[in-house]
Structures are given as structure tokens and as C-alpha cells.
């Protein structure tokens, strides 16, 4: 095992720098596990990802959101040749920023208001830090590993991951396992344990994208963590055989 990272928790590491540093992460594992998306779903998936990225930035790093995002004028869209041309011209005027449709911008602002007054969120956010990176040498996997947590409190040993969804009620334990979110929960928990020697509590904060923007907190059960761990070990073993 060749070690290339300094191990530990990093609280102010820019995402671009984190992304470029070596180390296996849960996203790569989940990508290997998932089957390729059907072409006709590509646009919808990309739209969902763009909204989720903007939402993460707004809720976790509001100051950074103001620097990176701008709202398109109402009525401006990419429909038709004229609409596409007008959209591209507006983007050129705001080079270096991500342009959000006014409808998405307004929805995100409403979500922010609901998020900031939710008592469970307030309890979490009272302590801990957002966008925490960690790097560790995993002796069992014989790999350098990394992860970037949406929120982590080293004192209470709690991790939180933020997810946007159309419907909260679809997130049953079975769905978490089918979508390999159990891998994410297990991977982050594994990293914290490797660095501290202590077990932690992992929870998903689910936010509905549409009004009234319901919010739910789901704690990852032992079943979820165990499923994720087993899936990780099987995947690493399978990948090692191929290489």
C-alpha cells in the first residue's frame, strides 16, 4: 500500500482540492455497483444532480452559494432556438457562475426558510461543522481512502448526509440498500472509526424538493451499516481480482 495522503479530518479543504487528491471514495464504489442509466433518463438525472448540488451549497455553504450561483430572469428558459440563444447569452454575462432557472431558485429559497427553522436541524447545526473531509489508510482494504461529509460533530460522533428527494416516504430501509446509500453510511462510519477508534451515528436528512418541503431525519440502522459494509468488501474483492 502506497500512502499519498495525510490522514485525519480537514475542515476547510475546498471541494476541488479534495476531489483531486488520491483515495478511494464511496461515490466510486457506488458507481461501480450501479448499472448504467438509460439514455432517456440522462437529462432528468442531470437536472436532479444540478438541483441537489445547488441545494447542498445553499444549505451547507450559503456564503459560497452567493458567489457561485445566479438566478436567471423570470421567463428565461432553454426552450426553442431563441430560448437557448437567450440562455447562452445570459450565461456569458455571468461567466464563472452557475445559472439557475428562476423556478429552481425560488424553490431553493423556500427550502432554506423551512430548513433553518426545523427544530431537528437546529439541534444538529448547533454544533459540528459542514463539508468535513477525511482521509485514512485502510489496513483491511489495503487502500488509501477518503470521504467528504456534509456535516460532522467530533464531540457527539455524529455524521449527517443531506439528500433531496421528490418523496420522503420512498426512503425505506430496503430502498436505502437497493440504491446503495447503505454503502455511503458504512463508508463514512468506517472512516471515522479508522481515524478515532470510536463508532459514530450516521443519519440522512431528507428534504422534499416540492412544497411544503417536508424534512425527515433517518438514522442508519445496524442493518443498513452491516449491508453497506458487506457490499463494500464484496466490491473491493471483486475489483481486486479484475486488476
Give residue-wise pLDDT tens across range 119-136: 988 888 888 999 999 999
- Assigned domain for 127 exists: yes
More confident of the two residues 169 and 192: 192
Q: Which band of pLDDT confidence, cut at 50, 70 and 90, is reported for residue 3? A: very low
Q: What is the 3-state secondary structure (H, E, C) of the chain?
A: CCCCCCCEEECCCCHHHHHHCCCECHHHHHHHHCCCCCHHHHHHHHHHHHHHHHHHHHHHCHHHHHHHEEECCCCCCCCHHHHHHHHHHHHHHCCCCEEECHHHHHHHHHHHHHHHHCHHHHHHHCCCEEEEEEEEEECCCCEEEEEEEEEEECCCCEEEEEEEECCHHHCCHHHHHHCCHHHHHHHHHHHHHHHHCCCCEEEEEEEECCCCCCEEEEECCHHHHHHHHHHHHHHHHHHHHHC
Report how many domains make up the chain. Answer: 1
Average pLDDT, the chain: 89
- Assigned domain for 6 exists: no
pLDDT value at residue 150: 96
pLDDT value at residue 177: 72
pLDDT value at residue 238: 79
Residues of the chain with pLDDT > 90, as a percent, come to 72
**CATH number, domain with residue 107:** 3.90.320.10
- Assigned domain for 3 exists: no
pTM: 0.87
Question: How many CB atoms sit inside 10 A of residue 11's CB?
Answer: 11
pLDDT at 182 exceeding the cut of 70: yes
- Assigned domain for 114 exists: yes
pLDDT at 111 exceeding the cut of 90: yes
Could you tell me which of 58, 32, 62, 28 has the C-alpha nearest to residue 145? 28
In tens, the pLDDT along 142-164 reads 999 999 999 999 999 999 999 99
pLDDT at 37 exceeding the cut of 90: no
- Assigned domain for 5 exists: no
In tens, the pLDDT along 208-221 reads 999 999 999 999 99
- Assigned domain for 182 exists: yes
C-beta separation of 135 from 8 below 8 A: yes
- Assigned domain for 11 exists: no
- Assigned domain for 19 exists: no
Structural domain boundaries, residue 104: 25-242
Amino acid at each position: 500500500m502506497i500512502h499519498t495522503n495525510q490522514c485525519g479530518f480537514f475542515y476547510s479543504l475546498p471541494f476541488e482540492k479534495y476531489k483531486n487528491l488520491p483515495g478511494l471514495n464511496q461515490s466510486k464504489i457506488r458507481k461501480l455497483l450501479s448499472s448504467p442509466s438509460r439514455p432517456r433518463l440522462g437529462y432528468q438525472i442531470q437536472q436532479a444532480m444540478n438541483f441537489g448540488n445547488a441545494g447542498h451549497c445553499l444549505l451547507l455553504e450559503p456564503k459560497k452559494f452567493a458567489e457561485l450561483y445566479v438566478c436567471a430572469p423570470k421567463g428565461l428558459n432553454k426552450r426553442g432556438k431563441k430560448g437557448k440563444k437567450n440562455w447562452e447569452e445570459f450565461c456569458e454575462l455571468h461567466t464563472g457562475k452557475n445559472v439557475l432557472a428562476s423556478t429552481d431558485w425560488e424553490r431553493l429559497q423556500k427550502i432554506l426558510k423551512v430548513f433553518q427553522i426545523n427544530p431537528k436541524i437546529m439541534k444538529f447545526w448547533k454544533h459540528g461543522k459542514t463539508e468535513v473531509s477525511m482521509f485514512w489508510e485502510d489496513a483491511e482494504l489495503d487502500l488509501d481512502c477518503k470521504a467528504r461529509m456534509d456535516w460532522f460533530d467530533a464531540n457527539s460522533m455524529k455524521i449527517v448526509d443531506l439528500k433531496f428527494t421528490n418523496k420522503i416516504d420512498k426512503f425505506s430501509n430496503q430502498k436505502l440498500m437497493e440504491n446503495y446509500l447503505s454503502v455511503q453510511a458504512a463508508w463514512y462510519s468506517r472512516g471515522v472509526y479508522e481515524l478515532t477508534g470510536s463508532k459514530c451515528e450516521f443519519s440522512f436528512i431528507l428534504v422534499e424538493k416540492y412544497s411544503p418541503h417536508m424534512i425527515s431525519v433517518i438514522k442508519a440502522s445496524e442493518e443498513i451499516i452491516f449491508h453497506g459494509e458487506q457490499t463494500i468488501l464484496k466490491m473491493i474483492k471483486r475489483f481486486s481480482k479484475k486488476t
